[in-house]
Amino acid sequence: MRVVGYVLLAALGVLVLLLLAAVIRTLCMKKKTSDYTPHPDAAREREYAEKLSRMVAYETVSHPDDPELEKFRGFHKLLAELYPTVHEKLEKTEIDGNLLFFWEGKNHDRPLVLMSHQDVVPAEGTWEHAPFSGDIADGKVWGRGTSDTKASVMAFFQAVEELLKEGYTPKCDVYLASSCTEEWAGDGAPKIVKELQRRGVELFLVCDEGGGIISEPIGGVKGNFAMVGVFEKGKGDVKFTARSSGGHASAPTKNTPIARLAAFVNDVETHNYFRREFPPEVAAMFKSLAPYAAFPLKLVMGNLWLFAPVLKPVLGKISAQAGAMLQTTVAFTMQSGSDACNVLPQEATVSANMRFIPHQGEKESLEIIRKIAEKHGLPVLARLPIDPHLAELCDEGRVDEYETTALDKALSELLGEKTSSMPSFPVRTTPRLEEETTNPPAFTLRCSTPFGARVSRSRTFCVVSGSNWVGAPPTGW
């Protein structure tokens, strides 16, 4: 017993020393404040809002395997009306409704792509403003696609339009790319990739949809922050099917298809089968945010080496988005059964959208969900947007310190030294342009800035959006 007591006392002593070390590190951490606010420009804001409003009002819902080319070509005519200089000065290529513009730079060794999709998902449910109204009210543009992602399309077209009028020539070749099949993981962006490959273009940088200027990204962290996405989770749509001989509801058998599916869904919802870890990007975000937090939060966020084991199980309970940063997720979204209420189905299905975390990628995550489904007698059909080889690249991908430091420098030039930028970990579909290319870009970034920022500064090319987006190659690129 005495030995056990000594061991416990020693363990307690080690814990106290570790806590003391964390407290000292936190006390030595220089406190920072984020006091950036955008500079109002009423005329410019109105111009941008009206252009985005018209783009949103033009409905561009895409559907699997239904190209609807005339609809998207009609949207292209609107873009030509809104951005005449871009269409006059840049080389335009249209590939089955997908757009690629080429802006020749002074140098050709580090080409970049500014990318965002034209299409939107269907608008269901009740809306405060009609989904395709493009209403401008309460300081906002309302409607489907305002943030996903016609704001991005508007952003880079507007930036290039203004820069062309100023006579600006970029230091590197710039491509503007916009697919019309992104929302259903179609072949739009792969067609753009094939065109780039045909031209022998090897991309250095891809800027796509991503984070935003967020106020108080974590409770207790005050200020406005530019959330820069540097990596994305992979995606798969998975269907689970239960079958039986059917029958009449007046004499139900046990373990019917719907009962088995319900048990399976409950199993997944009430147990955590996927490993939680802090990816380097999330750890970097916490480290960057820590100096802006009050002491208790700063202590935890600035010392993940000590507190990560405690945070892993509780972070998801605090915020679903925060929890999704740490593990593969499964969201059940669709289901089907009998066509009549008094008939037992011979077949019932439930579908889920999975997002694969890099440390437990597509192959391992799907194997886990398959084994759970097998316990409930359910066959699994997975529809994946990328092939196994490219999935491995996605699982292993990382953005190194040089690349994020370069973007921090660009944001500082654009928004001023007092603005903080930080790595973030968006939970979105992996872009097809990155997935399909056999010569992937050196790195990919997702960036943001508010309406009030200047569209261009000397020696820096910038793209500005009112809601979610900026792409900025640093000085000298």
Tokens standing for residue 412: 């500082």
What H or E segment, with its residue span, contains residue 456? strand 456-457
Q: How far apart are CA 456 and CA 407, in angstroms?
A: 15
- Would you say 218 and 282 are in contact if contact means Cβ atoms under 8 Å apart? no
Q: How far is CA 258 from CA 30, 78, 241, 417, in A?
A: 57, 48, 9, 58
User: Choosing from 119, 395, 408, 436, which is the catalytic residue?
Assistant: 119
Residue 182 annotated to the active site? yes
Q: How far apart are CA 450 and CA 214, in angstroms?
A: 10
User: Alpha helices, DSSP H only, in 166-210?
Assistant: 188-198
Q: How far apart are CA 196 and CA 201, in angstroms?
A: 5
Q: How far apart are CA 126 and CA 184, in angstroms?
A: 23
Diameter over CA atoms, the chain: 86
What H or E segment, with its residue span, contains residue 49? helix 42-57
Cα-to-chain-centroid distance, residue 66: 25
AA letter at 126: T
Residue 195 annotated to the active site? no
DSSP string, 257-293: HHHHHHHHHHHHHHS--S-----HHHHHHHHHHGGGB
Phi/psi for 171 (5° steps) reads -75, -15
What H or E segment, with its residue span, contains residue 242? strand 234-243
User: Choosing from 161, 162, 182, 209, which is the catalytic residue?
Assistant: 182
Give the residue numbers marked as catalytic: 119, 182
